[in-house]
Amino acid sequence: MARPFLVFLFLAGLTSLAVIGQEKAKRDPAEQKAMDALRATGALVLEVAQNDPRLEVSFLQPVDKFGAATLSPLKDLGKSLVALNLRSQPVNDEIAGQLAPLNGLTRLHLEKTKITDAALVHLKGMKDLEYLNLYETAVTDQGLAQLAELKKLKNLYLWQTKVTKEGAKKLQEQLKGCDVNVGVEFVPLPEPKDMPKEPAKDAKAKKGKAKNKDAKDAPKDAAKDAAKDKAKDKAAEAAKDKAKS
C-alpha cells in the first residue's frame, strides 16, 4: 500500500515541476516579440539560469546595418533584461540613447565601441548597475561625473581610455565600493650603475694590442725570412756546382 502511494507522490511532484516550468517560460507578448526581433538580428537572448527567467542579451557577431533600430526592442524587455553585451559593435553616442530605458541592467559591456562622454548620460538611471566595461572608448574625466550616482557599481574598466589617474581617483572616492580599473602602467627600469665597458671600446683596445704585437714581431719575422732566402741561395749554388762537375 505504501509503495503505490510513494509512486503517486513522485508523479505528482514531477507534474508540479512541469507546471512551474511552463509558468516560468510564459512571457508577455510584447516581451516575446522583442526577444524574437533581437534574435532575428543575430543577437543571443538567454535566460540567466534554468531557475532564473531574467534575460541576458549579447551581440557577439557583426550585425548588418547596426543602428538605433537594432537596439530598440530592448526597451520592451523591461526589468527582465539584466545583462547586455555590445562589445565591438558600432555603438555611437546617438545609438546609445536606446540604453536609457534599461534601468534593470546589472551588467553592461560597451568596450571597443565608438561612444564618448555624451553617451554616459544615458546610463545615469541604471541604479542597479554593478559591472560596466568602457575599455578602449573615448570617454574622459568629464564623462565619469555621470557615473557618480551609480552606488551599486562594483567593477568599472577604463583601460586605454582618455581618463586620467586623477579622474579615476576622484570617482573612486565617490564610489567607495567600486574597483575603478585603469589598467597597468609600465614603468621603465633604471639603468644599472656599474655598466660594463662599451663593446666598441673593447674592440678598439683589442685591435690596438694586436697592432702593437705585430709591430714587435715584425723584425723577428724579417730576420727569419732573410735567413730562409740565404739558405735557398746557397742550396741553388751548390746544385749548380754539382751539375758542372
For residue 36, is pLDDT > 70? yes
For residue 119, is pLDDT > 70? yes
Shared-domain flag, residues 176 and 195? no
Shared-domain flag, residues 168 and 195? no
Domain boundary among 148, 181, 214: 181
Shared-domain flag, residues 174 and 209? no
CATH number, residue 174: 3.80.10.10
Shared-domain flag, residues 76 and 93? yes
Per the model's pLDDT, the better-predicted residue between 114 and 4 turns out to be: 114
Interval 44-53 mean pLDDT: 96
Residue 157 lies in a domain: yes
Shared-domain flag, residues 233 and 149? no
What is the rounded CA–CA span in Å between residue 242 and residue 144?
111
For residue 25, is pLDDT > 70? no
Convert the pLDDT of each residue in 146-196 to its tens digit. Answer: 999 999 999 999 999 999 999 999 999 999 999 999 987 655 667 666 655
Shared-domain flag, residues 59 and 167? yes
Shared-domain flag, residues 52 and 114? yes
Query: What is the pTM (predicted TM-score) of this model?
Result: 0.68
Q: What pLDDT, on the 0 to 100 scale, is given for residue 17?
A: 43
Per the model's pLDDT, the better-predicted residue between 189 and 79 turns out to be: 79
Q: How many domains does the chain have?
A: 2
Domain enclosing residue 103, as ranges? 27-181
Residue 196, Ramachandran bin (φ over 0: left; ψ between -120 and 50: alpha; else beta) = beta
Q: Which three cell numbers stand for residue 60?
A: 557577439
Per the model's pLDDT, the better-predicted residue between 201 and 86 turns out to be: 86
Shared-domain flag, residues 91 and 117? yes
Residue 33 lies in a domain: yes
